[in-house]
Homo-oligomer: A and B are copies of this chain.
C-alpha cells in the first residue's frame, strides 16, 4: 500500500503543479503579489496577518485568504480590519492546494488588491509540498516549538523565501539555541532570509514589513 499511496501522491502533485503555474501566470497579469504563509498550528500566523494588515493597509491594498480544516474564527478576526477576506475550509484536508486557490481568486475583488496574503492550514509538512501559484513563501517557527525543527521538517525550511522566528519574547524562558537553528536553516537553504520577531511586542516586525514592501516593489517593477 505504501507504494500505491506514493504513486497517487505523485499524480496529485503533478496536476497541482500545473494548476499552480496557471494561478501564477494569472496573478502576474493582474500584478498581484501572492504570499503563502505557513507554520505549525499556533505558531502565530493569524497574529502575524493581523499586525501586517494593520501596519500596511494604509499604504498597500491587501487581501487575505484564510485556510483552515474547520471554523471561520480567523477570517472573522481579519474582517474586522476591513480588508477583503475569504475563508477556505478544507473539511479534513491538511493543506491548501492550487485548485482551492483558483476558486478563491474567482471570488475575490482582485482589482482592489496588490498584495494577497494566504494563511495556509496549520501544518509543517504538506503545505510545503503543494504549490499554490504564490510568488513568495513565508514560514513561521515559534520559539516554543524548539530549535530541532529544520532537521525534522526539512522541506518547509528548504522551500521558504523567508523564515520568521516568532515569540522571541519568550526566549528567556526557553532553551532555544538560535545559532544552532540558524545554521541548520542556512544548511538547507542558503538564500533564505531569517527575521526574529514577536507579534506580541512588535519586536523585529519592521524588518518583515520592509521585506514585504521591497518584494512588492521589485515584483511590480
The interface of chain A, by Cβ under 8 A from chain B, is 1-2, 4-5, 8, 12, 15-16, 19, 40-42, 68-71, 73, 92-94, 97, 99-100, 121-126, 129, 142, 144-146, 148-149, 151-155, 167, 169-170, 173
> Do B71 and A125 have beta carbons less than 8 Å apart?
no
CB distance from A27 to the nearest CB of B (A): 20
Instruction: Tell me the minimal C-beta distance from A2 to chain B in angstroms.
Output: 6
Complex Cα spacing A92 to B40, Å: 15
Contact of A151 with B12 at beta-carbon distance under 8 Å, contacts A123-B94, A144-B42, A145-B42 already known: no
Which residue of the partner chain, among B42, B70, B125, contacts A121 with CB atoms under 8 Å? B125
User: In the complex the two chains form, is A145's CB within 8 Å of B41's CB?
Assistant: yes
One complex includes copies of this chain to the number of 2
> Mind listing 12 A-B residue pairs with CB under 8 Å?
A1-B19, A1-B97, A4-B12, A42-B145, A73-B151, A94-B94, A94-B125, A121-B125, A123-B125, A142-B144, A144-B170, A173-B173
> Does B92 lie within 8 Å of A129, measured CB to CB?
yes
> A41 CA to B41 CA in the complex, in Å?
8
For the complex formed, measure the closest distance between the CB of A192 and the CB atoms of chain B, giving whole angstroms. Answer: 18
